[in-house]
Chains A and B, each alone.
Chain A
Amino acid sequence: MSIIDKLNKDFESRVRLGIMSVLMVNEWIDFTEMKALLEITDGNLASHSTALEKSNYIEIKKEFVGKKPKTSYRATALGRKAFTDHLNVLEKLFKSK
Chain B
Amino acid sequence: MQSTFYMDSKHHEDLIHIRSMMERSSRFISLSGLSGVCAGLSALIGGLYILQWFKTNKINYFDLEDRVYGRDVITHLIGVGMIILIVALISAIFFTVRKSQKYKLPIWTTATKQMLIQLAIPLLVGAIFCLALIKYNLMVLVAPTTLLFYGLALVNAEKYTYSDIKYLGVLEIIVGLVSLFYLRYGLVFWIIGFGILHIVYGLVVFKKYK
Contact = CB atoms under 8 A, between A and B. Distances in A.
Contacts of B18: 17-18, 21, 87
B186 to A, nearest CB: 41
Interface in A1-25: 4, 7, 14, 17-18, 21-22, 24-25
Given A14-B17, A17-B18, A87-B18, A37 B11 contact: no
Judged by DSSP, the binding face of B is helix
B23 to A, nearest CB: 9
Interface string B106-128: 10011100000000000000000
A24 B12 CA distance: 19
B25 A29 contact: yes
A36 interface: yes
Interface centre among A18, A21, A26, A87 (most CB of B within 10 A): A21
A90 B7 CA distance: 11
A38 interface: yes
A94 interface: yes
Interface of B: 7-8, 11-12, 14-15, 17-19, 21-22, 24-26, 106, 109-111
